[in-house]
A and B are shown apart, each in its own frame.
Chain A
């Protein structure tokens, strides 16, 4: 099934040309890059040391799961990275997407709508909730918005948990139908169709987000991020612009949710806790806020660290002098240290966007940060 992606060696020789066209043909270059990545990743899994962790099929399964988080990070990047709105409850939209699919195609609801239609429906439903949350709250400044979204992120899974009549509560909805394409029924033991589907979704998302970023809307987002007042006085409708960022970010999470529900064939409230929101935020910041490729790579790295590398440390270090330590127990510690170390070494993220790099440079020259849009410090008794 790898056949449909171009073989890597040919492409490497074309790299310069690809780079040259990429500025004017971003969609094409995105497709080509994603095709290369999609082809190379499964091959990399066959090469030591990666091949010693897991067999290829398990790696491909992990890559498909990682794709979900890449998608989430791309979506959150619209909200946080482009529009500058801090969202700490992003997992809520992920949950809404997943439950939408569970209602759309499971024995629990009795419906069996096709996965591909439900992808759109899930994105739409999540976007609707994004608008519902955003409309009353987007006028809040800076971190007040953060805590409201954090609250929303807690409310949504709690509602799914407690409204057991409609959601089967803590037991979750099981037996959610797998996707199918023509005569191919996706099977839980074969990760390839899921992987390729995810790669396609991510590719479409990347192209769409690039286009958005370069559009009038994208410029409006960045204007709001830099200075909301100035943006407003230059004729940007800040309310609808921010709402659109929220809705588009939410719809991306909705896509991820539909995919996860279909792949796992199961949804339950405890899959969408605040740790998911925080993890995705860490992915965005680590990757380099505002940089679409950077965010994607950051998400991929964090996901693989969390779900593969930390899990295999025990096995990998067996036989070394460190083998007496149960590394599984110290995953929190190692993950926490990795977050702190990476942030200290590279506060602007691994791959800061060009624009951000310029901003930081200017900020350094003027000896101090420009006042952030949400500045509201002050201590009062």
Chain B
């Protein structure tokens, strides 16, 4: 009996034992000669040469790996490039990568723990992440109190930044000391852009809306519904289909008789965008226009798992909005470098993550002369969140407003062209438009605002 207990315990401890070597920090893969400087527990600076750490908090396991991994690679690419040029202001950049998924699902509790880890590590000057808005809502209270800069490549929920959506209660410790910035445009702008494109450019009047019940998708779809109605259009119905849904034909059959002329999907390809489009063709709705946010504008038809790949020939006649300028300088240089490094096309948020890293690195560059050691973190935070500073990034030249939101409100519109990309189909650029200020001022029109119960009065 005793010996069996020991064997069984050994099974549990095998993992522990494996983890018993050193260091909590890794140098990014292929990070030139960067020493795998341990920054975790006790040690603070690397032996020989200065280094600083950028924390990365993303969902990197289970179903979330598809989101997190290309995003992480965008960060690694930026750091590797910086290190190859000899670092930033004499600092070698080290990454500390943490996974906020538990059992394959992003987990706010794990995210908060990860941020605690970064806060406790004095070499961390900033964090890229999180990916999910829910995780952000649990992390910002921690990083705000500690004054640690966070830049999210993907959070779109207005409630994380905008006071009228309740953000002051999230950063209640220091409501006026912004520490959380993001390069993604909030849902309220993308949903508005989608509605305007469908109504004005395409002349559609009767919309059927499906959302994936998740934060990004539901937020996008809700705003689309509000704005499409405000423009004078009719929304026949809004359905919620959880990401586990694969059969959309009953939903489509139910609205087919009411003659929608556009179907709008709030969500990403993996939560059903591609299948929905494909099944529209199956039930004879293939000629009806289809639209969505940047979650479905995910590359040409030869990329596994992309919208055009999943939907196949049915992908024709679809449109999507992307919260970035189309004519980014060096756009192809980025995707070429990414492909060269990882052998795959960049993911939906690779460029955003790359941009976030650029913001942190450029802030470091700017403040390195006047601050050092333990003062670096606060200096970087103060520089990056100062709305008078602008950054040249992969997403164009951006700066952050008084809430930490990007001031870049340009939305690019894309349509599918099934003859593009050598016949496999691709998204082609249509036009772009500046929605500057539209979203943040249009709070009263956005759903959810009413339920955000007077946040300013709190604490």
Contacts and interface: CB of A to CB of B under 8 A. Distances in A.
B150 to A, nearest CB: 14
A57 B113 CA distance: 10
Contact of B9 (A161, A165, A279, A350): A350
B138 interface: yes
Contact of A329 (B25, B42, B60, B116): B60
A334 B15 contact: yes
B325 to A, nearest CB: 28
Given A175-B169, A315-B26, A342 B12 contact: yes
A319 B451 contact: no
B26 A314 contact: yes
Interface in B141-155: 141-142, 145-146
A109 B41 contact: no
Contacts of B157: 171
Contacts of B106: 270
B40 A54 contact: yes
B245 interface: no
B11 A338 contact: yes
Interface string A248-291: 00000000000010001110101101010001000000000000
Nearest to B218: A170
Nearest to B157: A171
Nearest to A315: B24
A335 B12 CA distance: 10
B4 interface: yes
Interface string A166-207: 001111101101000000000111010000000000000000
A329 B459 CA distance: 41
Nearest to A310: B15
Nearest to B104: A332
Given A58-B116, A328-B60, A345-B7, A275 B104 contact: yes
Given A329-B61, A331-B61, A271 B145 contact: no
B143 to A, nearest CB: 9
Given A268-B108, A345-B4, A315 B40 contact: yes
Contacts of A265: 138, 141, 170
Contact of A49 (B19, B120, B146): B19
Given A52-B41, A168-B448, A338-B11, A174 B159 contact: yes
B32 to A, nearest CB: 16
B116 A57 contact: yes
Nearest to B12: A301
Nearest to A166: B451
B18 interface: yes
B432 interface: no
Contacts of B12: 301, 305, 338, 342, 350
A128 interface: no
A233 B62 CA distance: 50
A175 B458 contact: yes
Given A314-B97, A342-B12, A345-B7, A172 B104 contact: no
Nearest to B27: A318
A104 to B, nearest CB: 14
B145 A315 contact: no
A312 interface: yes
Q: Output the residue of B16, B110, B159, B457 with the most chain A CB within 10 A.
A: B16
Contacts of A175: 141, 166, 168-170, 172, 455, 458-459
Interface in B422-456: 448, 451-455
A52 B119 CA distance: 16
A350 B457 CA distance: 51
B213 interface: yes
A316 B113 contact: no
Interface residues of A, number: 70
A171 B215 contact: yes
B37 to A, nearest CB: 11
Contact of A57 (B99, B107, B120, B170): B120
Contacts of A279: 103
Contacts of A301: 12
B15 A305 contact: yes
A171 B133 contact: yes
A55 B21 contact: no
B206 interface: no
A264 B138 contact: yes
Contacts of B109: 65, 260, 264, 271
A317 B451 contact: no
A69 to B, nearest CB: 10
B121 interface: yes
Contacts of A53: 19, 24, 40-41
B455 A107 contact: yes
B23 A315 contact: yes
Interface in A323-344: 328-329, 331-332, 334-335, 338, 341-342
B213 A106 contact: no
A115 to B, nearest CB: 14
Contacts of A334: 15
Contacts of B117: 54-55, 58
Contacts of B14: 338
Contacts of B213: 161-162, 170
B215 to A, nearest CB: 5
A271 B18 contact: no
A328 B169 contact: no
B5 interface: yes
Contacts of B41: 51-55
A306 interface: yes
A108 B166 contact: yes
A165 B451 contact: yes
A338 B15 CA distance: 9
A309 interface: yes
B161 to A, nearest CB: 12
Nearest to A341: B11
A200 B7 CA distance: 33
A345 B166 contact: no
B164 to A, nearest CB: 13
A189 B40 contact: no
Interface of B: 4-5, 7-9, 11-12, 14-16, 18-27, 36, 38, 40-42, 60-62, 65, 69, 97-99, 102-110, 112-113, 116-117, 119-121, 133-134, 137-138, 141-142, 145-146, 157, 159, 166, 168-170, 172-173, 213-215, 218-219, 240, 448, 451-455, 457-459
Given A52-B40, A55-B40, A175-B459, 4 more contacts: A188-B145, A268-B108, A319-B36, A341-B11
21 contacts: A52-B23, A58-B113, A162-B213, A164-B448, A170-B219, A171-B133, A266-B137, A268-B108, A275-B105, A307-B113, A311-B99, A312-B24, A315-B24, A316-B22, A319-B22, A329-B65, A331-B99, A332-B61, A334-B15, A345-B8, A350-B8
8 cross-chain pairs, A with B, having the tightest CB-CB distances, nearest first: A175-B169, A107-B458, A316-B19, A346-B8, A275-B103, A49-B20, A345-B8, A174-B137
Interface of A: 49, 51-55, 57-58, 61-62, 65, 106-110, 161-162, 164-165, 168-172, 174-175, 177, 187-189, 191, 260, 264-266, 268, 270-271, 273, 275, 279, 301, 305-307, 309-320, 328-329, 331-332, 334-335, 338, 341-342, 345-346, 350
